[in-house]
């Protein structure tokens, strides 16, 4: 009995141990490793279906759409679901304009994911889907995709930029605002039945897509259109190497229009050369020429080196300094600061710089924003080249005031002139006005930012008055005048720097930068032409760039509905001189 | 015939209570099962409706975006400019002599208030 009881005890204990072991294993499988095995099971039969976030639109300041998305479909096949490959291949090939044999070859591989065609227009894809359903053919699926379109083509291409194959911005606002525009893709876990149809009951966790935000630019497409058409006309006639123009609201630093030639169409960036995609207003360095004289004049006045009444002897047009002779276009005697600017005297400007001293002059060059990135929301902005006084040679102090021995970007010149236009403040240039939710509510505003106060209002006002004189009879830019308005501005003509070093003979970068109306500026505009194919005797900022400024400003005044304040004056007929040699337009 | 042994006390009665309980339990189980099946069917039907609705919504959104892109392209400056160039749209710039401007409303220097028909004090002659 005892033996039997013991045997029974052992058997029960053995069974209990086995049961306990199994129970422990079950607990291990179901409780401890639940997450791990649930995930493994889900991976076997569920799919992670991506939910594509919609890229935000780019708008101009008035809400005009500049970049949007066009839905397209990617047609894919699952060979394991295909029962009638021949009929299916015939239909797909006919609808998608493919070779039947090629389709048949692809779907015969037995793979579960075969891309048949990308970028299929939505209506074509839907028609195909309906026909497949009608004929009860299975195994073809549509995936949502989209392409970025720029309805205005090449217009504003340098500002907008474009996307690469991974849908990341490469240039322009598409690049700098990529994070805001792109949004965040979502996903959901789904299961499909044997026919490939989603089983809704088993739809798993879902993370909704966070659509990209819209970016509203400061660009006014009305002004941009005016500027582009005038620049294009001049580019065709003058056939320069490059040309660019920048229009800014001087009181806020907002870029109203920006044009760079040659241009490219962001809808098909692959068709263009990298040189055509450069936004030269922020990437190119040029010697500014006489437009730079406002810096030395403002600095000298502000430091008290000269007064409005000071008379400076301009050496009758020939000034020997440092072993070299500095010349003026005409021989001038004694002139005050106003006259030096109106007549654009190199010698007068050089003497003001000499009176200021190199350190002070350099300080004002930097205060005007030259030699620093101004922080515009566009990629690739450069600083320019402003050497410190300890690296200057003996001649630099006489060359820099007239815009030589220094390299600046067209944007810096425009913002420098805006300092005079707005009463002495250097504003940060900006091209992004607001970032908005898809429903239009403002997510983040980009208010105007003052970089620094450069000169007092009185100094800016004095320089401004002199710049009005530049466009009046006797000034260097009478062709910049606009009927009914007072224009302030400055011409610039600089020899082009050669890639081999030194200056390229017979090649000039000519420009005009000004603002209007002079008494209450609504815009500052720079027009810069690099190596126009015209005779050297007429290749001056006042002759080539100023008339373009005038035409743009007149049309801009109409667009902005500016009320004429000055008495009408008969404008000079100022035809653009046609090119003397043919040039390639990219 | 002696039927005295057939008293109520000794009769083989049908015991209704367990039957009722059994039937009730079975009914509950049956109803639960039927309910479960019905709910499952409803779930499938609703899921199918959701799937179809989602598809329709996606389709509509897609069509909407296609149309928006088309409207954007057709109303773009580039397209309109090309239409003007092809003389399909006749557009002329308004010349300055055709622009009429309203005189800005005069304000009284005393209070800077804009004079309008509502707040202008009638002259004495007008009150008479």
Q: Does A219 touch chain B (CB under 8 A)?
A: no
pLDDT given at position B96 = 67
pLDDT given at position A496 = 85
pLDDT given at position A565 = 79
Q: What percent of chain B has pLDDT over 90?
A: 23
Whether pLDDT at A246 is above 60: yes
Alpha helices in A329-436 (DSSP H): 337-343, 346-356, 358-367, 396-399, 410-421
CA distance A368 to A374: 10
pLDDT given at position B39 = 93
Judge if A359 and A478 occupy the same domain: yes
- Phi and psi torsions of A319, nearest 5°: -125, 115
Judge if A106 and A244 occupy the same domain: no
Judge if A486 and A372 occupy the same domain: yes
Do residue B79 and residue A151 have CB atoms under 8 angstroms apart?
yes
Q: Is residue A460 a part of any domain in this protein?
A: yes
The residues facing B114 across adjacent strands are B107
Q: Is residue A122 a part of any domain in this protein?
A: yes
Contact A529/A240 with Cβ under 8 angstroms?
yes
| Angle at the Cα of A151 from the Cα atoms of A150 and A156, rounded to 5 degrees | 60
pLDDT given at position A582 = 36
CA distance B32 to B25: 10
Q: Is residue A582 a part of any domain in this protein?
A: no
Q: Does A135 touch chain B (CB under 8 A)?
A: no
pLDDT given at position A62 = 92
The total domain count for chain A is 2
What number of residues does chain B have? 128
From A201's Cα to the closest Cα of chain B, the distance in A is: 6
Judge if A240 and A386 occupy the same domain: yes
Contact A107/A82 with Cβ under 8 angstroms?
yes
Judge if A226 and A109 occupy the same domain: no
Q: Hey, what are A397's tokens?
A: 């102090």
Q: Does A151 touch chain B (CB under 8 A)?
A: yes
Answer with the one of A149, A167, A188 that is the final residue of a domain. A149
Judge if A393 and A525 occupy the same domain: yes
Do residue B65 and residue A144 have CB atoms under 8 angstroms apart?
no
pLDDT given at position A584 = 31
By C-alpha distance, the chain B residue nearest A121 is B66
Do residue B69 and residue A70 have CB atoms under 8 angstroms apart?
yes
Q: What percent of chain A has pLDDT over 90?
A: 65
pLDDT single digits (tens) A263-314: 999 999 999 999 999 999 999 999 999 999 999 999 999 999 999 988 999 9
- Cβ contacts of A266 on chain B, cutoff 8 Å: none
Interface test with B, best of A49, A65, A562 (most B CBs within 10 A): A65
Q: Is residue A534 a part of any domain in this protein?
A: yes
Closest partner residue to B78 among A69, A155, A198, by Cβ? A155
What CATH number should be reported for the domain holding residue A377? 3.40.710.10
Whether pLDDT at B125 is above 60: no
How high is the mean pLDDT of chain A? Answer: 89
Judge if A323 and A443 occupy the same domain: yes
Contact A476/A342 with Cβ under 8 angstroms?
yes
What CATH number should be reported for the domain holding residue A119? 3.90.1310.10
pLDDT given at position B127 = 36
Interface test with A, best of B47, B68, B76, B80 (most A CBs within 10 A): B76
CA distance A544 to A493: 10
Whether pLDDT at A376 is above 50: yes
Judge if A141 and A285 occupy the same domain: no
Q: Is residue A118 a part of any domain in this protein?
A: yes
What number of residues does chain A have? 586
CA distance A166 to B31: 56
Judge if A396 and A492 occupy the same domain: yes
Window from A38-52, A378-392, A532-546 with minimum mean pLDDT: A38-52
pLDDT given at position B1 = 56
Give the count of beta carbons closer than 10 Å to the beta carbon of residue A124.
16
Q: Is residue A157 a part of any domain in this protein?
A: no
Q: Does A201 touch chain B (CB under 8 A)?
A: yes
In chain A, what is the straight-line distance between the N-terminal and C-terminal CA atoms, in Å? 110
Q: Per-residue pLDDT averaged across A504-515, rounded?
A: 91
Give the count of beta carbons closer than 10 Å to the beta carbon of residue A9.
10
Q: Does A225 touch chain B (CB under 8 A)?
A: yes
- Cβ contacts of A221 on chain B, cutoff 8 Å: 77
pLDDT single digits (tens) A198-226: 888 888 788 999 999 999 999 999 999 99
Contact A253/A429 with Cβ under 8 angstroms?
yes
pLDDT single digits (tens) A319-369: 999 888 898 888 889 999 999 999 889 999 999 999 999 999 999 999 999
Closest partner residue to A153 among B59, B75, B78, by Cβ? B78
pLDDT given at position A402 = 92
Do residue A483 and residue B59 have CB atoms under 8 angstroms apart?
no
By C-alpha distance, the chain B residue nearest A225 is B77
Answer with the one of A132, A149, A166 that is the final residue of a domain. A149
Answer with the one of A149, A173, A200 that is the final residue of a domain. A149
Window from A26-35, A380-389, B6-15 with minimum mean pLDDT: B6-15
Q: Is residue A58 a part of any domain in this protein?
A: no
Can you give A30-59 as a three-state secondary structure string? HHHCHHHHHHHHHHHHEEEEEECCCCCCEE
Judge if A131 and A230 occupy the same domain: no
By C-alpha distance, the chain A residue nearest B63 is A122
In terms of residue numbers, what domain contains A503? 221-266+279-560
- Say how many CB pairs under 8 Å bridge A and B: 59
Judge if A144 and A227 occupy the same domain: no
Q: Cα A265 to the chain's mean position, in Å?
A: 13
DSSP 8-state symbol, B95? P
Window from A41-45, A258-262, A519-523 with minimum mean pLDDT: A41-45
pLDDT given at position A436 = 96
Closest partner residue to B65 among A71, A197, A221, by Cβ? A71
Cis peptide before A517 (omega within 30 of 0): yes
Q: Return the SS3 of A519.
A: coil
Q: Where are the beta strands (DSSP E) in A339-482?
A: 425-427, 432-436, 442-445, 450-453
Judge if A144 and A239 occupy the same domain: no
Give the count of beta carbons closer than 10 Å to the beta carbon of residue A442.
11
Q: Please report which helix (H) or strand (E) contains residue A194, including its range.
A: none
pLDDT band (50, 70, 90) for residue A574: very low
pLDDT single digits (tens) A153-207: 999 999 999 999 888 999 999 999 999 999 999 998 888 777 777 888 888 788 9
Whether pLDDT at B80 is above 60: yes
CA distance A327 to A316: 9
Q: Is residue A175 a part of any domain in this protein?
A: no
Do residue B47 and residue A201 have CB atoms under 8 angstroms apart?
yes
- Cβ contacts of B78 on chain A, cutoff 8 Å: 151-153, 155
């Amino acid at each position: 009995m005892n033996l039997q009881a013991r045997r029974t005890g052992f058997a029960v204990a053995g069974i209990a141990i086995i049961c306990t072991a199994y129970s422990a294993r079950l607990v291990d499988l179901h409780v401890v490793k639940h997450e791990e095995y649930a995930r493994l099971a889900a991976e076997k039969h569920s799919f992670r279906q991506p939910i594509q976030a919609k890229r935000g639109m780019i708008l101009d300041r008035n809400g005009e759409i500049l970049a949007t998305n066009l839905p397209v479909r990617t047609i894919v096949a699952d060979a394991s679901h295909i029962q009638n490959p021949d009929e299916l291949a015939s239909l797909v090939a006919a609808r998608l304009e493919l070779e039947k044999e090629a389709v048949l070859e692809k779907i015969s591989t037995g793979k579960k994911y075969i891309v048949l065609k990308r970028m299929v227009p939505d209506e074509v894809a839907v028609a195909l889907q309906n026909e497949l359903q009608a004929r009860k053919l299975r195994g073809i699926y549509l995936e949502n995709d989209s392409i970025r379109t720029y309805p205005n083509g090449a217009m504003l291409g340098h500002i907008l930029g474009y996307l690469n194959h991974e849908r990341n911005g490469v240039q322009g606002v598409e690049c700098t605002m990529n994070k805001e525009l792109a949004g965040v893709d979502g996903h959901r876990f789904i299961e499909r039945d044997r026919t490939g149809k989603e089983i809704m009951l088993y739809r798993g966790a879902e993370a909704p897509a966070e659509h990209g935000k819209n970016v509203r630019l400061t660009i006014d497409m009305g002004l941009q259109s005016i500027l582009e058409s005038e620049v294009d006309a001049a580019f065709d006639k003058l056939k320069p190497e490059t040309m660019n123009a920048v229009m800014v609201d001087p009181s806020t630093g907002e870029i109203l229009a920006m044009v760079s030639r040659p241009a490219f169409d962001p809808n098909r960036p692959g068709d263009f050369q990298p040189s055509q995609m450069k936004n030269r207003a922020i990437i190119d360095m040029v010697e500014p020429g006489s437009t730079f004289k406002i810096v030395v004049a403002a600095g000298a006045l502000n430091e008290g080196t000269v007064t409005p009444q000071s008379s400076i002897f301009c050496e009758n047009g020939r000034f020997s300094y440092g072993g070299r002779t500095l010349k003026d276009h005409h021989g001038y005697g004694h002139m005050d600061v106003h006259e030096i600017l109106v007549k654009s005297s190199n010698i007068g400007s050089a003497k003001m710089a000499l009176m200021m001293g190199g350190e002070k002059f350099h300080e004002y060059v930097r205060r005007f924003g030259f030699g620093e990135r101004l922080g515009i929301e566009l990629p690739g902005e450069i600083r320019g080249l402003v050497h410190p006084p300890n690296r200057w040679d003996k001649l630099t102090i006489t060359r820099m005031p007239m815009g030589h021995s220094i390299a600046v970007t067209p944007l810096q010149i425009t913002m420098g002139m805006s300092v005079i236009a707005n009463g002495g403040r250097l504003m940060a240039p900006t091209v992004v006005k607001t970032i908005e939710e898809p429903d239009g509510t403002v997510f983040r505003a980009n208010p105007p930012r003052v970089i620094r106060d450069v000169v007092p209002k009185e100094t800016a006002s004095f320089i401004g008055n002199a710049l009005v004189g530049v466009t009046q009879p006797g000034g260097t830019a009478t062709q910049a005048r606009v009927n009914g308005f007072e224009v302030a501005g400055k011409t610039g003509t600089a020899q082009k720097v050669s890639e081999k070093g030194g200056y390229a003979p017979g090649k000039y970068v000519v420009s005009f930068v000004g603002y209007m109306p002079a008494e209450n500026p609504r815009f500052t505009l720079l027009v810069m032409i690099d190596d126009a194919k015209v005779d050297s005797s007429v290749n001056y900022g006042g002759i080539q760039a100023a008339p373009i400024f005038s035409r743009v400003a007149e049309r801009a005044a109409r667009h902005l509905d500016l009320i004429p304040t000055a008495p009408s004056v008969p404008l000079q007929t100022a035809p653009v001189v046609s090119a003397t040699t043919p040039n390639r337009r990219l | 015939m002696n039927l005295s042994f057939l008293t109520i006390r000794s009769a083989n009665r049908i015991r209704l209570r367990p039957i009722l309980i059994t039937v009730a339990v079975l009914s509950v189980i049956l109803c639960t099962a039927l309910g479960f099946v019905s709910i499952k069917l409803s779930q499938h039907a609703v899921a199918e409706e959701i799937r179809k609705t989602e598809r329709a919504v996606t389709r509509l959104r897609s069509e909407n975006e296609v149309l928006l892109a088309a409207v954007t392209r057709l109303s773009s400056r580039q397209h309109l400019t090309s239409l003007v160039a092809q003389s399909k749209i006749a557009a002329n710039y308004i010349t300055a002599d055709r622009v009429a401007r309203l005189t800005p409303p005069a304000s009284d220097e005393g209070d800077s208030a804009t004079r309008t028909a509502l707040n202008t004090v009638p002259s004495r002659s007008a009150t008479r």
